Amino acid sequence: MNVAHILSQKGRDVVTVSPDFSLHDVCQLMSEKGIGAVVVCARDGELVGILSERDIMRTIAASGARALEERVSSHMTSTVVTCREDTTIQSVMERMTEGRFRHVPVVREGRLAGIISIGDLIKNRLAEVESEQDELKRYIATA
Ligand code: AMP
Ligand 1 pocket: which residues have CB below 6 Å?
36-37, 50-55, 77, 80-81, 99, 101-104
CA 102 to each of CA 1, 37, 105, 119, 122: distance values in angstroms, whole numbers, following the listed order: 19, 9, 10, 8, 11
pLDDT in tens, the chain (143 residues): 899 999 999 999 999 999 999 999 999 999 999 999 999 999 999 999 999 999 999 999 999 999 999 999 999 999 999 999 999 999 999 999 999 999 999 999 989 999 999 999 999 999 889 988 988 998 898 87
Measured from the CA of 117, which atom of ligand 1 is nearest? Answer: 3
| SS3 category, 89 | helix
CA of residue 126 to ligand 1 center, whole Å: 24
Nearest Cα residue to atom 22 of ligand 1 = 80
Handedness of CA 64, 15, 72, 82 (dihedral sign): positive
CA of residue 132 to ligand 1 center, whole Å: 32
Output the average pLDDT for the chain: 96
Q: State the pLDDT at residue 16.
A: 98
Measured from the CA of 58, which atom of ligand 1 is nearest? Answer: 10
CA of residue 98 to ligand 1 center, whole Å: 11
Domain annotation for the chain: domains and CATH numbers: 3-142 (3.10.580.10)
CA 77 to each of CA 25, 55, 81, 140: distance values in angstroms, whole numbers, following the listed order: 17, 8, 10, 50
- Within 10 A of 32 (CB to CB), how many other CB atoms are there? 9
Q: State the pLDDT at residue 134.
A: 87
**pTM for the model:** 0.92
CA of residue 15 to ligand 1 center, whole Å: 15
Q: State the pLDDT at residue 142.
A: 87
Closest to 26 measured CA to CA, from 77, 76, 96: 76
β-partners of residue 112 are 107
